[in-house]
A and B are shown apart, each in its own frame.
Chain A
Amino acid sequence: MNFRWRRAAAVARKEWFHIRRDPFTLTLALALPLAMVIIYGVAIDFNIKNVSLAVSDFDATESSRRLVDTFASSDYFRVRRADSPGQALQDVVAEKARAALVIPPRFEKDLGAGRGASAQVLLDGADNSTVGPVSLYVQTIQTLANARIAGANPVAPYDLRTRFLFNPELNSRWFVIPGLIVVIMAILSIFLTALTVAREWENGSMELLLSTPIQPIEIIAGKAAPYAGLGILAVAFVYVIARTAFGVPFEGNLLVFALGCLLFLATYLAQGLLISVVTRQQTVAMQLSMLTGMLPSNLLSGFVFPIASMPRFFWYFTMLLPARWFMVIARRSFLEGSTLAQLGVPLAALGVSCAVMVSLAARRFRRSLE
């Protein structure tokens, strides 16, 4: 078998003509990255701020006011006065507030007597996405309030100082946007290629290709090339937006990051081709690429949902996903400035999955033609 560049290039050229004339492909390639950046970068804010807190203060003493003030003066809570514990609860039920703080009448007295005073915090447990961070805020503020209530000269046995490395302000966009590169690349490469071979089968033009001396590997290379170009373009686009519009730092090595991009792109292009070869129908190919490409890269790659907190089975399962490894490479390249050696494991994993997927697609394609 001898590979001929001219034939592969002819296929690539022809594919480019298709792309140019197919509004769907071009729109998807251009609009998807833009839409994703707007949705994840602007509309969705993972930093929860200004949580409205219904406060019912029955004690109305200096101590209770200090406690309330500590909440009010933080960035995280917006205090809403309630006349009674019942109304505070009502506010949470009516979704006017996401949490409630109820201070009982004997709060300061109990404190002074050293009897162990207590106040109650009510959180909306039905809203799972906010309850975690909010309860964390409550704990932090409690520590702060304790110090203030105890007096100007708190005698703490030690001082635990926290500093956030790599993303000192815990800006969620810094975390999300590098991950977006992974998701966008995954969707684009898998969708577009999944349709391309299936389209040839549906049109019957595969028969034309096969009646010429072209080799399967030339068809694959020629078909993948233009979509690889589109994928690289999309990455560059998101990279520029990340650096300029969102000010995300890029601490790592661009070449290492580019290597990761290429490996990931090749893997997903191959997966798209594999889907296309197996299904031979555009509609089925579309659904299968959604199931095997878009869903895992969104949900199981650590993009939004942390892998560390997944059940054991899924934790191991994600090891099989190229998107998981590329997510690590993308984030650490942007924020941590990891070197080639530090990214050795994810790069190797990506390399293996790439080799497996490409050879699988090539073999399956060759077999399907016989």
Chain B
Amino acid sequence: MTGETVVEARDLVVRYGSFTAVDHISFAVKRGEIFGFLGANGAGKTTTIRVLCGLLQPTAGDVRVAGAGYADGETAIKIRVGYMSQKFTLYNDLTVGENLDFIASLRKLDRSYYLERRSDLLNLISFTKGLDATVRDLSGGIKQQVSLAAALLHDPEIVFLDEPTAGVTPAGRDRFWKLIHGIAERGKTVFVTTHYMDEAEQCGRIALMRDGKLVATDTPAGLKSTAFPEPLYELDPVARLNPADVAAWEEHEGFAFFERYGPRFHASPLNAEEWQRRRPELERQFRIRPVAPSLEDVFLRIIEGPR
């Protein structure tokens, strides 16, 4: 990617009392990227995003977001970014129009500019219910899209989406991601956290967080090849396995990776010799076929704990 850097974190630290939520993380995101943030709950994703949105002063380290940092005041950051938080934040008892009017006033948007942006964005999300629709009456997916429009109202350089598709139907998630791609194509930077691996696959780059630390930052393909230098196999049980056998394999020291994957298992041997030695025994219990690692495998291996 050749664009300029629009988001940068240098040695960022956030502490709440004695608890370190974000522990010396550094990364840079370029214009037009879709940058995914992955990690278990409590890994520090939301905290990092709140710092980047101007909502939380870091304990140490520095951020630059669209050319502004905390030295310029939080407001300098807030006017440059759009933020859609984890919780649904529009007012349920107000109409779509009233909600958008309210946000436009808070951001002091010029009236004619606002009206133009509003119709653009409502077009973008193909919103047909009308501005008089009360937010409470919208479906979960539509609510999230209106939220997105609200976050984009002031045409920010960067938009931060914290689990934007939580609780949305698969079709709704699909539509939402089409919008994300559309925004990135317009040269905006999208920063997104998610729990869904299929969504993570759609990111240009992914940062993996664990216990406040950044453990890896790469493209989805890059992450897979670094996380799995050895080949990965899918093991499909021939017959029903008893739990003791499964436990034995899971604890087996010949594997670098052995995880349940629905009714099957994904396993990666420590090395080729080990694999040749174990293969006959495995073939009595499983049908074996090589597979490409998915992000879920990467996630399990890097985030849930190395063996």
Specify whether A and B are partners: yes
Is B107 touching A207 in the complex (CB atoms < 8 A)? no
Is B107 touching A14 in the complex (CB atoms < 8 A)? no
Query: What's the least CB distance linking A136 to chain B, in Å?
Result: 55
Beyond A17-B98, A211-B55, A211-B83, whether A205 also contacts B106 by CB under 8 A is no
Beyond A14-B102, A211-B78, whether A204 also contacts B107 by CB under 8 A is no
Query: What's the least CB distance linking B73 to chain A, in Å?
Result: 10
Query: What's the least CB distance linking B126 to chain A, in Å?
Result: 23
Is B89 touching A203 in the complex (CB atoms < 8 A)? yes
Is B88 touching A209 in the complex (CB atoms < 8 A)? no
Among B57, B85, B98, B103, which residue has its beta carbon within 8 angstroms of that of A204?
B85
Is B75 touching A10 in the complex (CB atoms < 8 A)? no
CB contacts under 8 Å to B, within A277-309, are none
Chain A residues proximal to chain B, CB less than 8 Å: 4, 6-7, 9-11, 13-14, 17-18, 21-22, 203-205, 207-214, 370
Chain B residues proximal to chain A, CB less than 8 Å: 53-57, 75, 78-79, 81, 83, 85-94, 98, 101-103, 105-108, 150
Query: What's the least CB distance linking A24 to chain B, in Å?
Result: 12
Number of inter-chain CB pairs below 8 Å: 72
Is A6 touching B90 in the complex (CB atoms < 8 A)? no
Among A10, A21, A370, which residue has its beta carbon within 8 angstroms of that of B106?
A10
14 of the cross-chain contacts (CB-CB < 8 Å) are A7-B105, A10-B105, A14-B94, A21-B93, A203-B87, A203-B91, A204-B88, A207-B85, A209-B106, A211-B54, A212-B107, A213-B75, A213-B108, A370-B56
Q: A210 contacts which chain B residues (CB < 8 A)?
A: 55
Q: B101 contacts which chain A residues (CB < 8 A)?
A: 10
CA–CA, A17 to B90, complex, Å? 13
Among B53, B93, B106, B107, which residue has its beta carbon within 8 angstroms of that of A17?
B93
Q: B81 contacts which chain A residues (CB < 8 A)?
A: 211
CA–CA, A22 to B87, complex, Å? 22
10 tightest A-B CB contacts, nearest first: A204-B87, A10-B105, A208-B89, A211-B83, A212-B106, A207-B85, A213-B75, A21-B93, A205-B89, A14-B102
Q: B108 contacts which chain A residues (CB < 8 A)?
A: 4, 6-7, 213
Summarize B's interface: helix, strand, loop or mixed: loop
CA–CA, A198 to B119, complex, Å? 33
Q: A9 contacts which chain B residues (CB < 8 A)?
A: 105
Beyond A6-B108, A14-B98, whether A212 also contacts B103 by CB under 8 A is yes
Is B93 touching A18 in the complex (CB atoms < 8 A)? yes
- Which one of A17, A205, A211 has the highest number of Cβ atoms from chain B below 10 Å of its Cβ? A211
CA–CA, A6 to B105, complex, Å? 7
B134's nearest neighbour on chain A, judged by CB, is A21
Beyond A14-B98, A212-B107, whether A207 also contacts B87 by CB under 8 A is yes
Query: What's the least CB distance linking B102 to chain A, in Å?
Result: 5
Is B85 touching A211 in the complex (CB atoms < 8 A)? yes
Query: What's the least CB distance linking A366 to chain B, in Å?
Result: 12
CA–CA, A210 to B81, complex, Å? 12
CA–CA, A6 to B102, complex, Å? 10
Q: A204 contacts which chain B residues (CB < 8 A)?
A: 85-89
CA–CA, A212 to B56, complex, Å? 13
CA–CA, A212 to B151, complex, Å? 10
CA–CA, A340 to B9, complex, Å? 60
Beyond A14-B98, A207-B85, A370-B57, whether A214 also contacts B106 by CB under 8 A is yes
CA–CA, A213 to B105, complex, Å? 11
Q: A203 contacts which chain B residues (CB < 8 A)?
A: 87, 89, 91-92
B95's nearest neighbour on chain A, judged by CB, is A17
